[in-house]
Structure 1
Amino acid sequence: MSAPRLRAGFEVELLAPPGASRRDLAEDLARRRGGSVRPFFHVDTEGSAVPGVDAFWHLTPGFRVLDAAGEPVCSLVDDTSVVADLDARARPRPGWYRVVSDDARLLRLVARHADPAAGIGSVLGPVAALFGTPVQQLGAVHRVDDAAGATIAMAAPLPGERERVCEVITPPVEAGHEEVLEALLAPARALGFSVPREAAVHVHLDAAPFRDPGRFAAVVRSFGGRRRELHERFGTNPHCRRLAPLPAELVELCARRWPDWESLRAAAARTPVTKFCDLNVTRVLGLRPGPDTLEVRILPGALDGASIAARLADLEDLLAAPGQPCAGVPGGPSGGVPGACGAGAGRSTR
Structure 2
Amino acid sequence: MERGTVRGQGHRRAAAPGRGNPAGGPLNVLPRTGFEVELLAPRGASRLDLAVELARRCAGRVLWRFHVDTESSAAPGVRTFWHLTPAFDVLDGAGRLRCSLVDDTTIVADLDATAPPRPGWFRVLSDDPRLLRLVQRYADPEEGIGSVLAPVAEVFGAPVVEVGGVHRLDDVAGATIALAAPLPGERERPCELVTPPFTEDHGERLEELLGPARDLGFSVPLEAAVHVNLDAGPFRDVAVFRRLVELFAGREDLHRRFGTNPHCRRLGALPPDLVDLVGAEWAGWEPLRAAAARTAVTKYCDVDVTRVLGVRSGPDVLEVRLLPGSDDGVAIARQAAQLRGSLRSTR
Deviation at residue 139 of structure 1 after TM alignment: 1.7
Indicate the residue corresponding to 1:125 in structure 2.
Answer: 150
Q: Which AA in structure 2 matches 1:177?
A: H
Query: What is the rounded CA distance, in whole Å, between the counterparts of 1:40 and 1:107 in structure 2?
Result: 14
Deviation at residue 86 of structure 1 after TM alignment: 0.1
User: How do residues 89-108 of structure 1 correspond to structure 2 at under 5 angstroms?
Assistant: 89-108=114-133
Indicate the residue corresponding to 2:328 in structure 1.
Answer: 304
Task: Report the secondary structure of 1:274's partner residue.
Answer: coil
User: How do residues 1-350 of structure 1 correspond to structure 2 at under 5 angstroms?
Assistant: 1-3=25-27, 4-224=29-249, 226-321=250-345
% identical equivalent positions:
65
Deviation at residue 321 of structure 1 after TM alignment: 4.2
Query: What is the rounded CA distance, in whole Å, between the counterparts of 2:79 and 2:338 in structure 1?
Result: 38
Confirm or deny: 8 A CA contact 1:178 1:308 kept in the other structure: yes
Q: Deviation per CA, 1:159-193, whole angstroms, max 9, x where unpaired?
A: 10000000000011001000000000000000000
Q: Which AA in structure 2 matches 1:84?
A: A
Deviation at residue 2 of structure 1 after TM alignment: 2.0
Q: Which stretches of structure 1, 4 residues or longer, exceed 6 Å deviation after superposition? A: none
Deviation at residue 50 of structure 1 after TM alignment: 1.8
Deviation at residue 263 of structure 1 after TM alignment: 0.8
Unmatched 5+ stretches in structure 2: 1-24
Q: Which AA in structure 1 matches 2:305?
A: V
Q: Deviation per CA, 1:287-312, whole angstroms, max 9, x where unpaired?
A: 01100110000000000111101111
Q: Which AA in structure 2 matches 1:197?
A: L
Indicate the residue corresponding to 2:16 in structure 1.
Answer: none
Unmatched 5+ stretches in structure 1: 325-350
Indicate the residue corresponding to 1:329 in structure 2.
Answer: none
Deviation at residue 6 of structure 1 after TM alignment: 2.2
Backbone CA RMSD of aligned residues: 0.8
Confirm or deny: 8 A CA contact 1:215 1:321 kept in the other structure: no
Deviation at residue 76 of structure 1 after TM alignment: 0.2
Confirm or deny: 8 A CA contact 1:302 1:308 kept in the other structure: yes
Confirm or deny: 8 A CA contact 1:6 1:316 kept in the other structure: no
Task: Report the secondary structure of 1:11's partner residue.
Answer: strand
Query: What is the rounded CA distance, in whole Å, between the counterparts of 2:290 and 2:63 in structure 1?
Result: 40
Query: What is the rounded CA distance, in whole Å, between the counterparts of 2:76 and 2:144 in structure 1?
Result: 30
* More displaced stretch, 45-54 vs 74-83: 45-54
> Structure 1-normalised TM-score?
0.91
Task: Report the secondary structure of 1:259's partner residue.
Answer: coil
Task: Report the secondary structure of 1:38's partner residue.
Answer: strand
Confirm or deny: 8 A CA contact 1:74 1:171 kept in the other structure: yes
Task: Report the secondary structure of 2:55's partner residue.
Answer: helix
Query: What is the rounded CA distance, in whole Å, between the counterparts of 2:318 and 2:149 in structure 1?
Result: 36
Task: Report the secondary structure of 2:188's partner residue.
Answer: helix
Confirm or deny: 8 A CA contact 1:47 1:54 kept in the other structure: yes
Query: What is the rounded CA distance, in whole Å, between the counterparts of 1:185 and 1:317 in structure 2?
Result: 24
